Amino acid sequence: MNSAAQAPQETVPVSPLPPLARFRGEPLFELPRDLYIPPEALEVFLEAFEGPLDLLLYLIRKNNLDVLNIPMAELTRQYAEYVEAMRSGRLELAAEYLLMAALLVEIKSRMLLPLPVSSREEEDRDPRAELVRRLLEYERMKQAAQNLNQLPQLGRDFLPVLVWVDRAAAPRLPDVHPEDLRQAWLALIVRARAFQHHRVSREQLSVRERMSQVLRRLRGEGFLPFIELFEPVRGVPELVVTFLAILELSREGLIQVAQEAPYLPIYVRLAHGSDLIPLPA
């Protein structure tokens, strides 16, 4: 894990993790060398380990043992003493710790037995192999967890930018599609049961559009020369539509068309009753 684990020394720092435990308010960064654990601290010691693999790793690192050549007898003895200390503290000990104790004893006993002559394949198999594999994998993940925890984390180490959007400042307006208008019109017809009256042809629609345009053009004007309402460059159909629009507006009494005498210019104005503007001379 780190070079400190390799060097012989009295105690082995467990990690840059938080204190292993707190005992009478003092942080404990390492377990005592001897096996005496103050009874009040047993529970926190137990909590300090993530399980039997963690405890085993601790023992191996603390004793500077070679993971790949674990002296099973010594490791098993130390482990059993810890577990016994925990048990005598009448702590509810997780079953995994007892299971591991059984496994250690089993490995130890298998190493004492002579290998059966027949099973050549089994010859090379060290009973410790599976335990070593698990210890190494656990240690790797334990280290990976620390590395992960050291990565900058949103909320803890940096904040996302979040600029306010004032939804009320520019409220979203409904979208209307041309088809909505057709549907609305259809509904009207269905309701009125009189669609024949409201049937509107394309031509009529262009005339009605031109009627609005002519009214808009005349707005705020007095009399406007009739011919100024026409734009010959837009073609004959446009001239006809404009002419029809003027006729229709006149028929509906919306505009007033005036000519002082035959062959004189024709003028058009909105049919206002009040603000009469004299005909230009």
Closest CA to 97 of 81, 107, 83: 83
Hey, which residues between 188 and 227 contact another protein (CB under 8 A)? Answer: 188-192, 195-196, 198-202, 205-206, 208-209, 211-212, 215-216, 218-219
User: Hey, what amino acid is at 120?
Assistant: R
Using the contact rule CB under 8 A, the part of the chain among 36-44, 81-89, 142-150, 228-236 near another protein is 142-150
Pick from 186, 227, 258, 279 the residue near another protein by CB under 8 A: 186
CB of 117 to another protein, least distance (A): 17
Using the contact rule CB under 8 A, the part of the chain among 25-33, 78-86, 137-145, 223-231 near another protein is 137-145
Pick from 9, 11, 146, 259 the residue near another protein by CB under 8 A: 146
Using the contact rule CB under 8 A, the part of the chain among 31-39, 152-160, 227-235, 258-266 near another protein is 152-160
Q: At what angle do helices 52-62 and 95-112 cross, to 10 degrees?
A: 60
Q: CA angle, corner 72, sides to 66 and 74, nearest 5?
A: 90
Q: Using the rule CB under 8 A, is 115 a contact of another protein?
A: no
Cβ neighbours for 19, distance < 8 A, ≥ 6 positions apart? 27, 28, 29
Q: CB nearer to another protein: give 230 or 250.
A: 250
Q: CB nearer to another protein: give 2 or 39.
A: 2
Hey, which residues between 238 and 277 contact another protein (CB under 8 A)? Answer: 252-254, 270-273
Cβ neighbours for 115, distance < 8 A, ≥ 6 positions apart? 122, 123
Pick from 22, 33, 77, 134 the residue near another protein by CB under 8 A: 134
Which stretch of DSSP H or E encloses residue 247?
Answer: helix 236-251
The 10 Å Cβ neighbour count of residue 138 is 17
Q: Using the rule CB under 8 A, is 94 a contact of another protein?
A: yes
Which stretch of DSSP H or E encloses residue 147?
Answer: helix 129-150
Looking at residue 182, the DSSP 8-state letter turns out to be H
Using the contact rule CB under 8 A, the part of the chain among 37-45, 76-84, 151-159, 232-240 near another protein is 151-159
